[in-house]
């Protein structure tokens, strides 16, 4: 039960972090041309920080799963 829960949580976190990374990259490229997303309140660098923070939890969950299998 706990293995399934951590697996689902890590997949959700990975998806959210990937989306934040993608939005940050697209916004950064758009800012090179003078455009921006008007619905995003954060700078691309801040979105990148959020993605890295979430990805840290994904790595911790994956390492925990590896440790339990050994």
CA distances from 63 to 11, 36, 41, 57, 69 (A): 14, 37, 33, 10, 10
- Counting other chains too, the contacts that 22-25 makes at CB distance below 8 Å and 24 or more residues apart are 23/47, 24/48, 24/51
The total number of structural domains in the chain stands at 1
Q: What is the DSSP letter of 33?
A: T
pTM over 0.75? The answer is yes
pLDDT recorded at residue 41: 83
15-27 mean pLDDT: 95
Q: Domain of 59?
A: 2-69
* pLDDT one-digit tens code per residue, 29-68: 998 998 887 777 888 899 999 999 999 999 999 999 899 8
What band does 18 get if pLDDT is binned at 50, 70 and 90? very high
């Amino acid at each position: 039960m706990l293995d399934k829960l951590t697996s689902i949580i890590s997949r959700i976190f990975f998806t959210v972090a990937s989306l934040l990374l993608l939005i940050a990259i697209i916004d950064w490229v758009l800012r090179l041309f003078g455009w921006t997303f008007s619905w995003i309140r954060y700078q691309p660098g801040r979105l990148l920080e959020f993605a890295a923070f979430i990805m840290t939890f994904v790595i911790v969950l994956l390492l925990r799963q590896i440790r339990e299998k050994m």
